[in-house]
Chains A and B, each alone.
Chain A
Amino acid sequence: MDFFERFAVPHPSFAIYASMVAIGLTVVAVLAGLTYFKKWGYLWREWLTTVDHKRIGIMYLISALLMLFRGGVDAIMMRAQLSAPDLKLLDAQHYNEIFTTHGIVMILFMAMPFIMFFMNFVIPLQIGARDVAFPRLNALSFWLFFMGAMLFNISFIIGGSPDAGWTSYFPLAGNEFSTSVGTNYYMIAIQIAGIGTLMTGINFITTILKMRAPGMTLLKMPMFTWSAFIANVIIVFAFPVLAVLLAMGTLDRQFGTNFFTMDNGGMDMLWANIFWVWGHPEVYILILPAFGLYSEIISTFARRNLYGYKSMVGSMVLISLLSFLVWAHHFFTMGQGALTNSIFSITTMAIAVPTGVKIFNWLLTLRKGKIVITTPMLYSLLFIPLFTLGGVTGVMLAMSAADYQYHNTMFLVAHFHNVIIPGVVFAMLAGLTYYWPKMFGFMLNERIGKWTAWLLSIGFILSFMPMYITGLDGQARRMFTYSESTGFGPLNMVSFIGAGIMAIGFVLIVYNIYYSTRYASRNISNDPWDARTLEWATHTPVPEYNFAITPQVNSIEAFWDMKKKGHVIFKGEYEKIHMPNNSGIPFIMSCIFFVWGFSFVFSLWIPVIVTTIGIFVCMALRSFENDHGRYISVEEIEETETRLRGA
């Protein structure tokens, strides 16, 4: 019995038991459904073993949407608990667990895969390539991310959630104050997902550098590709830092080392420093691809080219450099002294400059444009003012002397949600609506889409603007309740209502998908938005080889110039196309990683050793394998092309 006790949840409640049952039932239902409809073979052949960047992209999307709802439920629970003074819906421990998982799930398991989805689906198409540089590594990246996310998500029903905040500062995250295995989950699950992300970074840098269509020089790349390129460079520099940090955290918690301890020479602030050396660049990994999407969408629906292409690129390069030089702004109050704080204040404020340049470029793109307000454009237009507000409060926080007032209050919480929701989340939803027809061959309903955009914006304003005020009045973040006499009650109620409105918005997205799947017209062109870049030059649905003939490019907006100026981008005859074979190894290896992670969390060393060997066996198998891929014949291409052109 002793052996099994470790898997019990240390701080159970009815809700957790109910979730256990619900999760159990869902798993059984899914397995039964797959068996009943005889879909195992399909699932294995078409999805689990796929190396096609488009399918991998779609799997990222599904994971991101699932995690959006998991994180969203956390959010609603927190807002409900704070909606009035002295509520007891959640106790302090549960509240701690929920804000921790909310942060990690939203940033690492929702926003990151959402971005990975766009990179996977869009970039090879946008640069006119057949696939990414390393298709199989790409599958491995996805499955590692997925297993990491799943491992993190089961923490709350097996062994207990992490509860030290998404920043997991030591000594709070050390064994003394975080006694359950929750923080082990944090260290291991993020480690596994992080390895996947790092490999994605390497993969996409190589892809973008080496696989662009002939004629597409670096300064002719579409803006989304540029933004993703820079984000991937940041990934390659930042994620190894995270890997080392998590490894040291694991060693401290499970092997008794003294990196971050309070005695034997350990240094707790070391965690905070290294965390933010990764963490601040991480927020730019999120926002840069979002900027890229806005750039595409704004120029498409302003019906003109993007204003200031080169300054857009330049400002992103500058942001990526500065993002590594500002980390201490996250702990101005921790006593580094006036000089250090001043330096970091200045570097932080400096980031606002290139960011501002981008905002002006978008505005100037709009100025002479013929604006068409579609759902993606509506999100973009809402983004500009709302995000600017978040940037401005960022600059307020950047003033180290003033930060003593704002730090770790709801004001800070309002700031980062103010940049992340209108900045990242709106971009994801705008991009999703924009690329939906390319993926699935029908458009999402515009009316429902616009309703969603407005509900999310209004909900956002109601839920986060009050936090600026209560924050300035001294409401601390991460407190599970407050007393009536503080006077925070009414504004927190407004926040709760706002959160509810946002929740309705998110449910509407699901409804929109359902509604459009049923009723939307399938009779749409390959280019329903009248867009400007190469991804719209191929068929819908996109054939597995993307382009029958590799496009040849000689301008930034190659596809637009093909449509309007008669440039010929598809020249020559069909040739047989080389494609990679599917492989089960990435999936199987990631499953072994999952078991490895799970055993590690619970310090079950024998399974850890066995699975470690298993992982290396997979790598060895891969090394010895002789797989040269396959060819799609010219006849097959002709057949596919005629069929797709048929409509």
Chain B
Amino acid sequence: MKMDHSLPLEYSTEENKLKILGFWIFLGAEIMLFATLFATYFTLVGRTAGGPTGAGIFEITPVLIETLLLLTSSFTVGLGIHAMRLGRKKAMIGFFITTLLLGLAFIGVEIYEFVHYVHVGAGLQTSAFTSILLTTLGTHGIHVTIGLFWGLFIVLQVWKRGLTPQTANKSFIFSLYWHFLDIIWIFIFSFIYLKGMM
């Protein structure tokens, strides 16, 4: 395996570079996916069919908690990558586990939020608005959940195999994914929740 030592570990082999570029392109596709959901959301947001509206069901507290959790986790995953670049395996694993725990807490609050919606009569089937609302939030939530498992596997690999070009590459790509989900959340927060509550 040819290695280029002037570059960070995650970029050090040809294969690693390919994977990072490929993942950026994948994120491009993900942007289209969420863009389609957002476009549909804006089309259907007013079509509540006499059922609950955003202003009627959104609660600021859980949403703020979720935002805080996810933003912090994006920060900690960044710290994790920083530690990785310094070659500090333990610190990196620590930051990654913190990230995953924050993500888990996010999912916990989101589940609470969903239960609340169903409780106040805003289920998946209630109206076009609730359908797209829950689908958009759910798609993001599923992404986070998948990220939790993925991150866990990566932590295990780093723990067992140490910081190799492969594990560093995977960790870095995971961090890209995690930041991306955070950015999507910021859009959800601003354009779905804040706009909806106004």
Contact = CB atoms under 8 A, between A and B. Distances in A.
Interface of A: 133-134, 198, 201-203, 205-206, 209-211, 236-241, 243-245, 247-248, 251, 255-259, 261, 263-267, 270, 274, 277, 578, 616, 620, 623-624, 626, 628
- Nearest first, the 3 A-B pairs at minimum CB distance are A265-B47, A265-B128, A257-B131
A267 B45 CA distance: 11
B122 to A, nearest CB: 12
A259 B125 CA distance: 9
Given A240-B33, A257-B131, A623-B150, 12 more contacts: A198-B29, A201-B29, A202-B25, A209-B21, A210-B18, A211-B18, A258-B131, A263-B49, A264-B49, A265-B128, A266-B128, A628-B1
B124 A264 contact: no
B128 A241 contact: no
B33 A270 contact: no
23 contacts: A134-B22, A206-B25, A237-B29, A239-B29, A240-B30, A240-B32, A244-B40, A247-B135, A257-B125, A258-B131, A259-B131, A259-B132, A264-B49, A264-B125, A265-B44, A265-B47, A265-B129, A266-B47, A266-B128, A578-B1, A623-B154, A623-B157, A628-B1
A244 B37 contact: yes
B33 A243 contact: yes
A632 to B, nearest CB: 15
B190 interface: no
A624 B128 CA distance: 42
Interface string B1-19: 1000000000000000111
B44 A267 contact: yes
B40 A259 contact: yes
B157 A274 contact: no
Contact of A245 (B25, B36, B49): B36
A277 to B, nearest CB: 8
Contacts of B49: 258, 263-265
B188 to A, nearest CB: 15
B26 A202 contact: yes
B127 interface: yes
A251 B132 CA distance: 10
A631 to B, nearest CB: 10
Contacts of B149: 616, 620
Contacts of B26: 202
Contacts of B48: 265
B153 A624 contact: yes
B126 to A, nearest CB: 7
Contacts of A261: 128
Interface in B74-133: 124-129, 131-132
A259 B32 contact: no
Most chain A CB neighbours (cut-off 10 Å) among B21, B26, B128:
B128
A1 to B, nearest CB: 31
Contact of B135 (A257, A264, A266): A257
A237 B131 contact: no
A371 to B, nearest CB: 40
B43 A264 contact: no
B153 A244 contact: no
Interface of B: 1, 17-19, 21-22, 25-26, 28-30, 32-33, 36-37, 40, 43-44, 47-49, 51, 124-129, 131-132, 135, 149-150, 153-154, 156-157, 161, 166, 170
A255 B157 contact: no
A257 B47 CA distance: 13
A202 B153 contact: no
Contacts of B153: 620, 623-624
Contacts of B17: 210
Contact of A248 (B18, B21, B125, B135): B135
A244 B33 contact: yes
A61 to B, nearest CB: 25
Given A133-B22, A206-B21, A270-B43, A258 B128 contact: yes
Nearest to A259: B131
A266 B127 CA distance: 7
A237 B43 contact: no
A245 to B, nearest CB: 7
A251 B44 CA distance: 15
Contacts of B128: 258-259, 261, 264-267
Contacts of A247: 135
Given A202-B29, A240-B33, A258-B128, A267 B22 contact: no
A255 B47 contact: no
A338 to B, nearest CB: 21
A211 B40 CA distance: 38
Given A210-B17, A210-B21, A257-B135, A274 B127 contact: no
Nearest to B37: A244
A140 B166 CA distance: 21
A209 B17 CA distance: 11
A620 B28 CA distance: 24
Contacts of A251: 124, 131, 135
A4 B170 CA distance: 45
A255 B180 CA distance: 29
B127 A258 contact: yes
Contacts of B21: 206, 209-210
B36 A274 contact: yes
Contacts of B1: 578, 628
B134 to A, nearest CB: 8
A638 B127 CA distance: 69
Contacts of B28: 236-237
A115 to B, nearest CB: 19
A348 to B, nearest CB: 21
